[in-house]
Amino acid sequence: MPPRSDEPRRDPTGSRRGSSRGAEPREPGVGGISDARAYTPRGRTIREGGAEQRRTPRSSRSGDPFRPALQVVDGGRATRAGRREPATAGESGRAGRRTAGGRAGVVRTVSTRPVHEPFDDEDDPPPRRRPGPRRPAARRPVRKPRRPPRLGDPRRRLRLATVLALTLFASIGVRLVYLQMADSPAYADGGLPNRIAVVELPAPRGAILDRTGEPLAHSVEARYVFADPTRVKDRFATARALSPLLGVPASELADRMRRSKRPGTDIDLQFVYLARGVEIGTAKQIMALDLAGIGTHRDERREVPGGDLAANMIGFVSQDMNGLEGLEAKYDDVLRGQAGKRTYEVGLGDLAAPIPGGYSSTTQPKPGSSLQLTIDRDLQFMTQRILAKQVAQAKGSVAAAVILDVPTGEVLAQASQPTYDAADPAKVNSPADRDDAATSFVVDPGSIHKAITYGAALQEGVITPDTTFPVANTVVLGGVPFEDTHHANGRVMSIPGMLAFSSNIATIEIADKLGKDRLIDYQKRFGLGQPTGEGLPGEASGRLLPADEWSGSSYGSVPIGHSVDATPLQMAAAYNAIANNGTYVQPHLVKETIGPDGKGTPSAAPATRSVLSPANAADLRRMLEAVTTVDGPDGRATGLAAAVPGYRVAGKTGTGLRYDNGKKQPGEVGSFIGMAPAEKPRYVVAVFVWSPGGEGGAVAAPAFREMMGFTLRHYRVPPSLTDKSPKFEVFPR
């Protein structure tokens, strides 16, 4: 602090400041610090001010909000309570002289220690004085009155707040529009897999029809039962309720309804099949139970109207309508069609229903095509009935029958015994009962093979219809003896007589003149050693003994139909070539394919080739008639039981062996293959019967007679003219 001056400070009037010593007495209220403190900023004492406030009405007592500013303008200081602070003595004097601009008659008191309020910042602190002689106080310059503070405009604040709010809402709106228009597919797709349900729309399977358009197998409307595992509340209770209606064990149904994920994803599986092909009435009962997570939808079921009619040939399908055997399996891609699919959004929990306006996509199913076969349903039925009746005489037997249309090679009937109900394929004694014996039954054809040997010899000029030579009773080749059942005892026999009595020795001698190479060549021309390509899956090809594998005994066994593997269908096709003037026609089952639009597409034309000349084929047919007609003092032909009254029949009996997986089976295979009318054949019928006891020979010929007789009557073939039937002499003189 600067040193205090010994001379008291004086105000402009000459009076000393800060001390009352040595001063003249003053009137109360004039001068003096204590007196100044007793006055209010407006020159009133506190008591006077209080009294005046009490006298002033309350309405006028509230101060003017701008009063502190006005007091500053008047020369005083604004206090915290809005009162004016007293000015200094100098300022009071100046204020007295400024009565014209201030308030007249107001005595301003001076405080020795100015009171600084928080808002009193207009005066800077006085500078510190340096030690030295004190100079008279200079007169302060007169300050310009300060302008009152500028107050805020509420309208501007309102405008600013409005602009900020609108900007905020505009930003939110722009973001919402962007999410809805630009990013909405991405956000929607992100949760879409959890809401997607997929329902398969099965495609109707094509029918299998006979040659007249009658159904052998077709699909009918049904229902399938499905479950949504995410909605099933109690899978065990649900399974117990469904088991009696579906015929499926409850444990299996409960296992199907267990929650699981879609393969390769973390998404819950929402669709599983519980049963297929359920009858519509049963489906209604299931829906009446109102089980959570259980539903039904349109499906189909395969029906076979004939039960076992052509079952071994047609085959059957699975519950999913996939072909498993027979024609159903061979032509599965044609019959099955393409299933459709419906994909849609569903809600979650109790709202598991399609969402209106949600994602939905439907691929319509494409029905499968139908197959029209060459089979005649009525003829097939009678063929199966006759075969079953005849085979009943030979227990434990396996039999096959084939009926061919000669000019076209179409299969009119193809029966197997035993058979089964294609509508319930599980009810069989053995899976082999479902096999088609005509294409899978591999046998040593036996004597029916002799027609091939004689046909090759005729075509190659080794023999003629008039050829005769002496026939011995036995011959030994490679250490193996061969003999005849009808002993000729060295007598001269005719070619028809050799066929009528089925002479092994005569056939071996003719084959020896023909040679093994040419015999093998004709075997192939007649269709042996390779599948016919009829149309059934799993058709056996048979086997021919190559020339380099022949042994000494092969020269005796091969010509008479041993050491040769063939199927009934292959042998029937070989005889059909003889009946068709020497032209081989590939046997076939499928006539045409009918698309969903009803338009038919014929099957490819069957393969054909010439084997015999028409003349040689006619001569061979005439010689084969001896098998069903020769009956005299020299003996009876082997095929008299196959004769059809009123018709000329050419054919041949056979006794062969059966092989299963390369192993010879006990018993024998009896067979008969023939054609009628022999003068101009229309149909070929082949019958093969294997029995462990060897009774097949006694069954095959009678079965042929009944089948051929019905076929000729069914197609109204006129009877033959008996007066033109040939007369045969077995032992010409």
Nearest of 313, 320, 279, 315 to residue 296 by alpha carbon: 279
Q: ∠ at Cα 317 (312, 322), nearest 5°?
A: 135
CATH class of 197-373: alpha beta
637: which 2 tokens? 């032909």
pLDDT value at residue 412? 98
**Residues annotated as part of the active site:** 447
Residue 559 in contact with residue 505, Cβ under 8 Å?
A: no
* Res. 513: pLDDT tops 80: yes
pLDDT value at residue 92? 43
For 311-352, write each residue's pLDDT tens digit: 999 999 988 888 999 999 999 999 988 888 888 877 766 566
For 258-309, write each residue's pLDDT tens digit: 988 888 778 888 888 898 889 999 999 999 999 998 999 888 889 999 999 9
pLDDT value at residue 10? 46
pLDDT value at residue 24? 47
| Cα–Cα distance list, 332 to 208, 321, 425, 601 (Å) | 11, 9, 17, 17
User: Which are the contacts of 448, defined by CB distance < 8 A and separation ≥ 6?
Assistant: 561, 571, 575, 652, 653, 654, 656, 671, 672, 673
Predicted structure pTM score = 0.71
Q: Are strands 370-373 and 208-209 parallel, antiparallel or unpaired?
A: parallel
- Calculate what percentage of the chain has a pLDDT beyond 70: 78
279: which 2 tokens? 């009858």
- Calculate what percentage of the chain has a pLDDT beyond 90: 54
pLDDT confidence of 198, banded at 50, 70, 90? confident
User: How far is Cα 694 from Cα 581, in angstroms, rounded to an integer?
Assistant: 34
Domain ranges of the chain: 1-138, 197-373, 377-590+597-724
The CB-side HSE value for 2 (13 A sphere, CA atoms) comes to 12
User: How far is Cα 380 from Cα 565, in angstroms, rounded to an integer?
Assistant: 26
Mean model confidence pLDDT for the chain: 82
User: How far is Cα 544 from Cα 633, in angstroms, rounded to an integer?
Assistant: 39
Q: Which residue has the higher pLDDT, 421 or 394?
A: 421
Does the domain at residues 377-590+597-724 carry the CATH identifier 3.40.710.10? yes
* Of 181-190, 339-348, 359-368, minimum mean pLDDT range: 181-190
